[in-house]
Structure 1
Amino acid sequence: MQLALNKEKGYTKAVFVLFYFLVFFGIGGLFPLLSVYLSDVVGLSGAEVGTIMSISPVVMIFIQPLWGMIADYTQKPRLVLTLTLMGTGMVGYFFSFIEQYAAFLVIAALLAFFQSSIIPISDSIALNYVQKANGNYGAIRLWGAIGFAVSVLVVGRLAETFGLKIIFYVFAVVLFLAALFAWQLPKESQTLKVNLREDVSRLVKMPKFMLFLLATFLIFGPIYANNFYFSLYITGLGGTLTGVGLAFLFAAGSEAPFMKFASSWIQKLGILHILLLSSFIALVRWTLYFFEPSLTIVYATTILQGFSTGLFIPAALQYVRDLAPTNVRATAVSLYAAMGNGLGSWFCTFLGGLMLEKYTVSTVYGFFSVLTLVGCALTFFIKNLEKGDLAESNMSG
């Protein structure tokens, strides 16, 4: 009996590993090269490319919570995830046939519409599973970081050999494969009674939850916006395009080991201590970049992304799920993702662009430092709220 149970756990973990690897392999192969395709192959202007690339976070602000609500209302997150993966792959494939700017705007919005469901719903399923099976979310999620890092090299090499259009074909194939594995992910073991309006209303009336959404906006917004500005920062210091690729490889690859050990660190130090530590390390990184160190130091400090992102993601997701009522956890995770991936990313990218026009890219990182500092202070305030609630609970007990 125990042997059969261990085999089932091993199979489920393998499905999660392959799922995350494929999803992030697809993302890592498409989005870093999409702006190059739009500029060099299609011939769009910089402003047009920037507008197309900024559509995704704007759409995610509104659509990510909607997908979470659909998953909670239907109680079929696995089905929603499978269908949206197929939709994302299909829209990505059609990207290769578009030539007009207006059509790119429409197709980019459609891509973001379907894609915005993938990470929050899959993370919600994974967290639900590891909590029941006493597993390690970070040990599963790290394969996403590995998939992203591997795809930067593999798809980049394929694009050099076969042309940039291949990024869309690889993206479509990989996401359809991911959909097959999504259908093999664990189902919910029970049906929950959902009163969506009442439960969501309860969620937004939770002070700690809303404060943490704001902290996520301040901390994760710069982390996502860094993907747009880091290449400019490196080339501005005299780095090459090859150096840019290696920097992204080191940064994304460094997340994996930290995700693996995040669970044990959370148990030893506590979720909010880990959130404070990871956000403080992000603050150190952005502040360092503001002072324009040498390229050697910049390359060496890419590992700080492992400390910050690799620890923040597992800890933040666990904190959100622990705070949220059971029957609106997918909605809570989607709101959290919308604040970081969506609103935070758009805000930091947009204001960063305005600063870049007037000043330098190092000024942008100074702006990121200020936001992250406020996010750290807010996280510290939430930690004190938790401490006060615990003391009050012990007194009443």
Structure 2
Amino acid sequence: MAASGTGIYWRLSNLYFWFFAAFGVLMPYWALYLEDQGFRYIEIALLMATLQGTKIIAPNLWGWLGDRTGRRLRLIRFGALVAVLCFSFTLLRPGFWGLMLVMLSFSFFWNAVLPLFEVITLHNLGSDSRRYGRVRLWGSIGFILSVAGFGAALDHMAVSIMPWLVLPLFAGLLMATLQIHDEPSTRRQPHHGSVAAILKRPEVWSFFILNFMLQASHGPYYTFFSIHLEQLGYAKISTGALWALGVLAEVGLFLVMHRLLSAYPMRVIMLCAATLTALRWLVIAEFSQFLWILLGAQLLHAASYAALHAASVHYIRVQFGEGHQGQGQALYSGLTYGAGGAFGAWISGVLVEWESTVAAFYGGAGFMLVGVAAAWLWMRPAPQRAYAGQ
């Protein structure tokens, strides 16, 4: 690692833990909270899309500021603090438009944290960047603990108290930002080529198409999977366990991801993982009533999230270079998790309102197959090996 000792490893891991612990409550259960508050499915989809939609603008602004000033850690702390303050207004139960404003403001600052922190993490890992998965897996552990714990708790508590349960997790995230001191303090270094020139490369824009479709395909999952299971008669503790199983599979893959990145071409990893993702949505659409089949579908989360995300973070590092790291990670967050996630959440709401949650998951499979086709046609095999020499 660029930073000495195991101390920085645990400080980096701690922030991922709290960030995804909060994520592990919001994404699986926030839709259930909104349903409990009496919102229609299309309103739920729009509110959930807000969490993703701010990623279109926010990470690019924060990434530009981070590259420009070199003060990424200060921006992370500021974003975490304001996010906590904004989210506290959910306690007032402000109605649809009021809640839309609260979620817009909260997520704008919350979405500042992760893309900036990815740059800090990769900087501190230095030449050992393939070990990113070992740090990132603590985010998955935080997700597992919160999704399983809250699932069990909500079988015995009213869903309406959820904002009170989420706030301590955001406070933990804020405290985690205060424990990190090894910030890269350099300003933007000289580089070759502009961001616009990088984006014109076929291997780059096809990469973004693949990931846009990947996140669009996750729209039904993040917005309606819990409701889908509730309609099939699953208890909330079972729902939480199924979410946790998916992330447990993710943890397992993160542990060996550095070996896969060294052993296989990036294009092969992405195409295989994306194809398995399309299969996963088809299985959830057709066979969710069979628990043993659903368990297998959840294990495919290792492909649909862990493999594609870890590969993508490193791919951005290679394609954008050191001079555009912040903007590269921000574009990845904004164009894929932001635009793709918001589009997928909205479309899934339309499909559920029009037909059913089953139709939404079929739509997700269709989106993923479009992404696979784009990557197959235009994503070049280079770089052949991921970071073997880094």
TM over 0.5: yes
Q: What per-residue deviation string (whole Å, max 9, x for no partner) do you get for residues 55-113 of structure 1? A: 22222222221111111111111111111011112212222123333321211110111
Q: Using CA pairs below 8 Å that are at least 6 residues apart, which structure has the higher relative contact order? A: 2
Distance 1:155 1:325 in 2: 40
Aligned counterpart for 1:125 among listed residues 112, 120, 124: 120
Structure 1 counterpart SS, 2:182? coil
Structure 2 counterpart SS, 1:386? coil
Aligned counterpart for 2:243 among listed residues 245, 248, 253: 248
More off after superposition, 175-184 vs 263-272: 175-184
Deviation at residue 282 of structure 1 after TM alignment: 0.7
Asked whether the 8 Å contact 2:70–2:188 carries over to 1, the reply is yes
Q: What per-residue deviation string (whole Å, max 9, x for no partner) do you get for residues 207-238 of structure 1? A: 32222111111123213541223224334444
Give the TM-score of the pair, scaled to structure 1: 0.86
Distance 2:2 2:347 in 1: 50
Name the counterpart of 2:294: 298
More off after superposition, 246-255 vs 168-177: 168-177
Q: 1:43 to 1:380 in 2, by over 3 A?
A: closer
Distance 1:78 1:19 in 2: 12
Percent identity, aligned pairs only, is 19
Q: 1:165 to 1:88 in 2, by over 3 A?
A: farther
List alignment gaps of at least 5 residues for structure 1. Answer: 391-397
Distance 2:235 2:70 in 1: 49
Name the counterpart of 2:344: 348
Aligned counterpart for 2:263 among listed residues 251, 259, 268: 268
Structure 1 counterpart SS, 2:234? coil
Deviation at residue 37 of structure 1 after TM alignment: 3.1
Q: 1:173 to 1:365 in 2, by over 3 A?
A: closer
Name the counterpart of 1:80: 75
Q: 1:307 to 1:89 in 2, by over 3 A?
A: same
Q: 1:265 to 1:58 in 2, by over 3 A?
A: same
Deviation at residue 313 of structure 1 after TM alignment: 0.8
Aligned counterpart for 2:62 among listed residues 67, 76, 88: 67
More off after superposition, 257-266 vs 282-291: 282-291
Structure 1 counterpart SS, 2:252? helix
Deviation at residue 158 of structure 1 after TM alignment: 5.1
Asked whether the 8 Å contact 1:292–1:362 carries over to 2, the reply is no
Asked whether the 8 Å contact 2:284–2:294 carries over to 1, the reply is yes
Q: How many pairs are equivalent?
A: 383
Q: Would you say 1:113 and 2:96 are equivalent positions?
A: no
More off after superposition, 325-334 vs 5-14: 5-14
Q: What per-residue deviation string (whole Å, max 9, x for no partner) do you get for residues 221-278 of structure 1? A: 2135412232243344443433322211211222111112111111011322211221
Asked whether the 8 Å contact 1:28–1:149 carries over to 2, the reply is yes
Asked whether the 8 Å contact 2:140–2:251 carries over to 1, the reply is yes
Q: Would you say 1:175 and 2:170 are equivalent positions?
A: yes
Distance 2:287 2:154 in 1: 32
Deviation at residue 326 of structure 1 after TM alignment: 1.6
List alignment gaps of at least 5 residues for structure 2. Answer: 386-390
Equivalent AA in structure 1 for residue 83 of structure 2:
T
Name the counterpart of 1:186: 182
Equivalent AA in structure 2 for residue 13 of structure 1:
Y
Aligned counterpart for 1:212 among listed residues 207, 212, 230: 207
Equivalent AA in structure 1 for residue 25 of structure 2:
G
Asked whether the 8 Å contact 2:286–2:358 carries over to 1, the reply is yes
Distance 2:123 2:378 in 1: 24
Asked whether the 8 Å contact 1:65–1:338 carries over to 2, the reply is yes
Name the counterpart of 1:364: 360
Equivalent AA in structure 2 for residue 305 of structure 1:
H
Aligned counterpart for 2:335 among listed residues 325, 332, 339: 339
Q: Would you say 1:100 and 2:95 are equivalent positions?
A: yes
Asked whether the 8 Å contact 2:33–2:159 carries over to 1, the reply is yes
Aligned counterpart for 1:202 among listed residues 194, 197, 215: 197
Equivalent AA in structure 2 for residue 329 of structure 1:
Q
More off after superposition, 347-356 vs 249-258: 347-356
Distance 1:224 1:359 in 2: 16
Distance 2:351 2:231 in 1: 15
Asked whether the 8 Å contact 1:16–1:185 carries over to 2, the reply is no
Q: 1:33 to 1:238 in 2, by over 3 A?
A: closer
Distance 1:232 1:346 in 2: 18
Distance 1:160 1:240 in 2: 7
Q: 1:212 to 1:177 in 2, by over 3 A?
A: same
Q: 1:332 to 1:236 in 2, by over 3 A?
A: same
Aligned counterpart for 2:51 among listed residues 53, 56, 63: 56
More off after superposition, 370-379 vs 179-188: 179-188
Distance 1:117 1:88 in 2: 9
Asked whether the 8 Å contact 1:27–1:171 carries over to 2, the reply is no
Name the counterpart of 2:321: 325
Where does 1:151-166 land on structure 2 (aligned, <5 Å)?
Answer: 151-157=146-152, 164=159
Q: 1:362 to 1:52 in 2, by over 3 A?
A: closer
Q: Would you say 1:11 and 2:7 are equivalent positions?
A: yes
Distance 2:311 2:245 in 1: 22
More off after superposition, 251-260 vs 31-40: 31-40
Q: 1:241 to 1:181 in 2, by over 3 A?
A: closer
Quote the RMSD (CA, aligned, Å): 2.8
Larger Rg: 1
Structure 2 counterpart SS, 1:384? coil
Structure 1 counterpart SS, 2:184? coil
Give the TM-score of the pair, scaled to structure 2: 0.88
Distance 1:48 1:283 in 2: 26
